[in-house]
Amino acid sequence: MIDLSKIDAIDIHTHADGPPGSPSYQDGAEGRAYMAKYFKTTYEPKPISEIAQYYRDRKTAAVIFTVDSEAATGRRRYPNEEVARLANENSDILIPFASIDPHKGKLGVREARDLVKNYGIKGFKFHPSSQAFYPNDRMAYGLYEVIAEHKLIALFHTGQTGVGSGMRAGGGIKLEYSNPIYLDEVAIEFPDMSIIMAHPSFPWQEQALSVCQHKPNVYIDLSGWSPKYFSQSLIRYANTLIKNKVLFGSDFPVITPDRWLKDFETIDIRPEVRPLILKDNAAKLLGLAA
């Protein structure tokens, strides 16, 4: 169990991609190379035990997950059960989410129920662009029903980050799938499901801000971009209308919390809002604080 008095921040967005030797590591080689080039960094997945210690050393808790996009990409995922087991072994610092490709239909729904019941999963990660579905496609509603039933969190990739950037045909990634406006309908249909729109939603930032401000169950995480690239509208809203709904996320390992936090210090966020974004808002959303 995470002791909030012993941490300074909560990173709502970190990846467990499968360590060397795993099938998911093998299948993800080309994508990692392009991501490393895009983010000007090294991209070498580490064992979850090492990730836990990395965050423990920084007094930062972290939500961790894999991404299941097997149907559209053919890339094998890192098993949700393994992510959850290892995260639960490091429950002082890690919070397990899962990812299930919506194309798996009823089998995916069955898996979701098992993960919630037997593995302590706290939320689910969706990546519409790599999973090749629109978030308001009813194909995914069975998964949403499980999430809503247990009052868990659905975290959706939005906008364009580095995924597929520079690859031939963009790696087959269709950006339109991740337009945040589609989450407006989802928020209406599932008002008991907390929704996080991951990343500054370039080029649809205004749509994301509108949905977040309008729908009580919708939040924004700031992962996948250095804060120095945040739009003025995002900074303005984060300081005011949605200050209780904005969350720190790094997108580790392609962006480290060290890099993100260093750049966050340089942007014009009000002093009283900074702790909300870095820790307090996530603590409430995750049920770690009242």
**Interval 58-102: pLDDT, tens:** 999 999 999 999 999 998 999 999 999 999 999 999 999 999 999
Indicate whether 27 pLDDT > 70.
no
Indicate whether 278 pLDDT > 90.
yes
Contact 72, 103 (CB under 8 A): yes
Q: Phi/psi of residue 150, each to 5°?
A: -100, 5
Indicate whether 168 pLDDT > 90.
no
- Tens of pLDDT, residue by residue over 252-265, are 999 999 999 999 99
- Tens of pLDDT, residue by residue over 176-209, are 999 999 999 999 999 999 999 999 999 999 999 9
Fold of 4-285: TIM Barrel (3.20.20)
- Rounded Cα gap, residues 145 and 143, in angstroms: 5
Residue that wins the pLDDT comparison between 32 and 125:
125
**Letter string b/e over residues 115-137, b meaning 16 or more CB atoms within 10 A of that residue's CB:** bbeebebbbbbbbbbbbbbbbbe
Binned at pLDDT 50, 70 and 90, residue 211 comes out as very high
**Letter string b/e over residues 4-32, b meaning 16 or more CB atoms within 10 A of that residue's CB:** eeebebbbbbbbbbbbeebebbebbeebb
Cα 39 from chain centre: 17
The ranges assigned to domains in the chain are: 4-285
